[in-house]
Amino acid sequence: MADTPTTGRETRSDAAWRAALTPDQYRVLREHGTERAGTSNLLAEKRPGTFTCAGCGQPLFEQETKFESGTGWPSFFAPIEGAVATSVDRSHWMVRTEVHCARCQGHLGHVFEDGPAPTGLRYCMNGVAMQFEPAA
């Protein structure tokens, strides 16, 4: 059974976010940074379980939606319903679709239309923005 997203919006002061997150997590989640490709320990994660937001704990992706994209970032073909939101990202002289946590608005990564069936989408996520909770 899939986890359901947490209801309600997570709001904290900048000081509270800095205290709760590591410097790398803060840079990615709050400042829209990107981790270096190939550095996430979540790339090799294959156990049953759920990937959650490192900022607020919101369940984001189930393991069975993860796939090997060869990009160097954890990739998924579908999020848990209602767990993420998107916006237009016009940074770096291009237009992309940014993915962020629906609860705390933390930056997770981007979604592209070059993924596998059944969705054709590739949610290319920063591993540092997530944590993994193994299934019980």
Angle at 92 between CA 100 and CA 9, to 5 degrees: 15
Distance CA(18)–CA(96), nearest Å, equals 27
Is residue 101 part of the annotated active site? The answer reads no
DSSP state of 94: S
Q: Which helix (H) or strand (E) holds 17?
A: helix 14-20
Which two tokens mark 96? 């992309």
DSSP state of 43: G
Q: Which helix (H) or strand (E) holds 26?
A: helix 23-29
DSSP state of 36: P
Q: Which of 53, 56, 104, 124 is catalytic?
A: 124
Residues 6 or more apart whose CB falls under 8 angstroms from that of 36 comprise 72
Q: Which residues are catalytic?
A: 124
